[in-house]
Amino acid sequence: MGRPPRRLPCPPPPEHPLPASEDVLRALAQVMAPLARLLLASGLDYTRLAAELKPLFIEQARLELLRSGQKDTDSAISLLSGVHRKDVREWRTNGLSGRIAQEMSISSQVFARWVQDPLYRDRRKRPKPLPRLGPAPSFDSLARSVTQDIHPFTALTDLLRLGLVTVKTVKGQEWIVPHREGFVPPPGSRDLLDLFGANLSDHAAAAVGNLLGQPPQLEQSVFAEGVTPESSRELGELARKLWAQARAEMITEATRRYAADQGRADATCRLRFGAYYWAEDVSQQTPQPDPTATGDDRDDA
């Protein structure tokens, strides 16, 4: 007699109804539109994106199998992800991920400490100008409180490159003046791209978790349509004002709790709290097509 057939896995039914696949695709098309714009502006086409998506689908398929109590075989991963088995084998041979986890840059860490540490803030809880050299509070002491491996001059040079600080000389002494809007790297910089990836990733994680029935996370917005450009600008200023208030309060409380939680074995969580504001003139949303363009790029014979 032959061996009895293997028992089929019986994953538990989902606790909450999942969205229909076609509805998910429609929603993702909205999400992907601005990202496709970034890709094309950066010289990245569909073929390059598809190649980069393969390991992402493989990794998430493996995690989904493990979450449901199934074995993460090459066949199971291939079936769930839609990626060919040979690509799954190559991925497994080369490691679980070809991407390198990026740490926060030294300049980001220095500016974060500047914002959080009461020693380096003014009475309005904003990062205050600091003498470049000397005992605390100075920029030298600030940078050295973050790391002893990087010279303060190197951290200052990077902050100057990013336009996040300026140097002013008062009575022969150099003062480092921070950007009042906080850590906002200039357009096109690697630092801004890192923030872009981190912010959108966590925002998407909160939204997807809510869709899949995980413990509810804060992910809401206020929407209005039919206002004038002037009203839009004024509402944008209000949004910045409200964010500044919420940001200052969150930094104070997060700093207090971080200090209290140091050394605890269960201090393993991370969090991100953010806000965004977007406004556009919907009457000018779609550029007019070039009337001289045709659908055929071949040269006439």
- For residues 143 and 129, give the distance between their C-alpha atoms in angstroms, rounded to a whole number: 14
Which pLDDT score is estimated for 223? Answer: 93
Which pLDDT score is estimated for 102? Answer: 44
Which pLDDT score is estimated for 100? Answer: 38
- For residues 147 and 109, give the distance between their C-alpha atoms in angstroms, rounded to a whole number: 9
Which pLDDT score is estimated for 301? Answer: 44
Q: What is the pLDDT of residues 175-214, one digit of tens each?
A: 999 876 666 677 777 777 887 888 899 999 999 999 888 8
Segment 236-263 shows an average pLDDT of 89
Q: What is the pLDDT of residues 43-81, one digit of tens each?
A: 888 888 988 899 999 999 999 899 888 888 999 999 999
Which pLDDT score is estimated for 99? Answer: 44
What is the rounded average pLDDT for all residues in the chain? 83
pTM above 0.85, yes or no: no
Give Cα 30 distance to the centre of its chain.
18
Segment 8-26 shows an average pLDDT of 74
Segment 14-30 shows an average pLDDT of 84
The strand pairing partners of 177, in sequence order, are: 166
Q: What percent of the chain has pLDDT over 90?
A: 36
CA-based torsion, 255, 259, 260, 266: positive or negative: positive
More confident residue, 195 or 216: 216
Which pLDDT score is estimated for 259? Answer: 85
For 172, counting Cβ atoms within 10 Å of its Cβ (0-12 exposed, 13-18 middle, 19+ buried), the class is exposed
Which pLDDT score is estimated for 103? Answer: 47
Which pLDDT score is estimated for 76? Answer: 92
Segment 96-107 shows an average pLDDT of 52
Q: What percent of the chain has pLDDT over 70?
A: 83
For 219, counting Cβ atoms within 10 Å of its Cβ (0-12 exposed, 13-18 middle, 19+ buried), the class is middle
Q: Which helix or strand (DSSP H or E) is residue 130 part of?
A: strand 130-131
Q: Centre a 10 Å sphere on the Cβ of residue 131 and count the other Cβ atoms it contains.
A: 16
Report the range of poorest mean pLDDT among 24-28, 101-105, 211-215. 101-105
